[in-house]
Structure 1
């Protein structure tokens, strides 16, 4: 069983990676007038799910907030 500190560090790493991934995606798609909000939940989701998670977030924002 993992220690609590290892689990928290893994969550922190995934959140930071997700925030960076969202930032890069936002810079790349700024021409399309689509912007994914970067907050702790979306950053963790993007870090945990990777590129499919970011594409899912983009689809949600595209269809829910036209």
Structure 2
């Protein structure tokens, strides 16, 4: 099945801004993050189709997954 991955902030460095990926049915958000070699503890917000989701959310065909890094500051 096909999903669109959108990366934000430092996740784009050395990767991409947006990419279409083929994944197996039953693939979760965390599995995609691992495929992208992004440490899970660096993910601040994950969204599927513009809605917040958990890392164990199972993706569907044509979903749009957006990943935002943790943000710090003071």
Q: Which of the two has greater strand per residue?
A: 2
Taking structure 2 as the reference length, what is the TM-score of the superposition? 0.30
Taking structure 1 as the reference length, what is the TM-score of the superposition? 0.32
Higher RCO by CA contacts (8 Å cutoff, separation 6 or greater): 2
Q: Which of the two has greater helix per residue?
A: 1
